[in-house]
Amino acid sequence: MFGKSTNHNGSVAGFRTGRSSAAAALMVILCGGLAVAQPPKSLTVVNAGSGGLVIAPDSIASALGRGIGASTESAHSVPLPTTLSGVSVEMTDSLKALVLDPLLYVAPNQINFYVPNTVAIGTATVKILNADSTPPSVTVQVANVAPGLFTANGAGTGVAAAIAIRRLIGTQANTAVPVYHCDANGCSSTPLDLAEDAQVFLELYGTGIRRRSSLANVTATIGGVSTQVLFAGPQGQFPGLDQVNVVLPQNLQKHGEQDLVLTVDGHLANTVRLNVK
């Protein structure tokens, strides 16, 4: 894990959860990020949260391809290295500016990297500098926002890699409650109690969100019901990691697993799941 600690800018309504609140999302990023059954034969660069084909400046992306990396290695401190396990990622943006992308994780078929905030909007070329005599390269679209949410299974689908905060209305006491659990068989959702004596806040983790035009242009629905977005911006501790805080509405008519749909400046993130009772 990274050793640097800074203030947690996305605290829910005064509840400051610190490093532990981001643990689920960070483990997904550092230990493999986007899960794929088989890596593509040719190089592909995607949003590390959603797996979408558009990335954003100041976000986390994944390069996928067979044999693009060397041995598996994760970054252990910030600032992030630009060479990891003997591999570097070179990006040339639409203005022909060249940069070496800071690396979070390298494995034989996947590289997770940070897209610097200086990268211009438009078509960029990503080249993997490894031992190949002809380094693999690919083009990718860079947009101002490209919202992606991390999920517990690392595949961009299923239950969100999130935590929930339950606040008793009478005492204002806060308790962290689980959103999901994982075992040898995979990850599944944990039901969230929407009892009338408490409010439940959700901390989602993603990337490609922080450059939104305004908080008013970030919307979320749960089970088709609109919910208030309290915060959408940098998580504050780790490069490229964003956080979105929402209030779970108590007027949900449906129970069980629900779709959470996030929209940022008109761009849809990948749909994630929650379980409510």
Last residue of a domain, one of 101, 118, 143: 143
Dist. CA 162–CA 246, nearest whole Å: 11
Is residue 4 a part of any domain in this protein? no
Asked if residue 154 and residue 139 are part of one domain, the reply reads no
Give the tens place of pLDDT for each residue, 153-187: 888 999 999 999 999 988 999 999 999 998 888 88
What does R_g of the chain's alpha carbons equal in angstroms? 19
Lowest-confidence segment of 20-24, 94-98, 139-143 by average pLDDT: 20-24
Q: How many CB atoms lie within 10 A of CB 226?
A: 10
Give the tens place of pLDDT for each residue, 192-223: 998 888 899 999 999 999 999 999 999 999 99
The number of folded domains in the chain is 2
pLDDT at 93: 98
pLDDT at 32: 61
What amino acid occupies position 74?
S
Q: How many CA atoms lie within 13 A of 134 on its CB side?
A: 2
**Residue-range definition of the domain harbouring residue 110:** 33-143
Is residue 266 a part of any domain in this protein? yes
Q: Residue 152, by phi and psi: left (phi above 0), alpha (psi -120 to 50) or beta?
A: alpha
Is residue 234 a part of any domain in this protein? yes
Give the tens place of pLDDT for each residue, 231-262: 999 998 889 999 999 999 887 867 899 999 99
Is residue 1 a part of any domain in this protein? no
Comparison of pLDDT for 263 and 4, the residue scoring more: 263
Is residue 9 a part of any domain in this protein? no
Residue 12 has pLDDT above 60, yes or no: no
Q: Are the C-beta atoms of residues 117 and 57 closer than 8 Å to each other? A: yes
* pLDDT level of residue 6 (50, 70, 90 thresholds): very low
End-to-end Cα spacing for the chain: 34
Is residue 70 a part of any domain in this protein? yes
Asked if residue 70 and residue 112 are part of one domain, the reply reads yes
Q: How many CA atoms lie within 13 A of 61 on its CB side?
A: 31
Last residue of a domain, one of 85, 120, 143: 143
Q: How many CB atoms lie within 10 A of CB 105?
A: 23
Backbone torsions φ then ψ of 76, nearest 5 degrees? -120, 0
pLDDT at 254: 76
Tokens of residue 144, six digits: 């101002």
Give the tens place of pLDDT for each residue, 73-123: 999 888 999 999 999 999 999 999 999 999 999 999 999 999 999 999 999
Asked if residue 128 and residue 45 are part of one domain, the reply reads yes
What are the helix (H) ranges across the chain? Answer: 23-30
pLDDT at 4: 31
Give strand pairing partners of 166.
Answer: 175, 200
Is residue 10 a part of any domain in this protein? no
Last residue of a domain, one of 120, 143, 166: 143
Residue 39: which CATH number?
Answer: 2.60.40.10
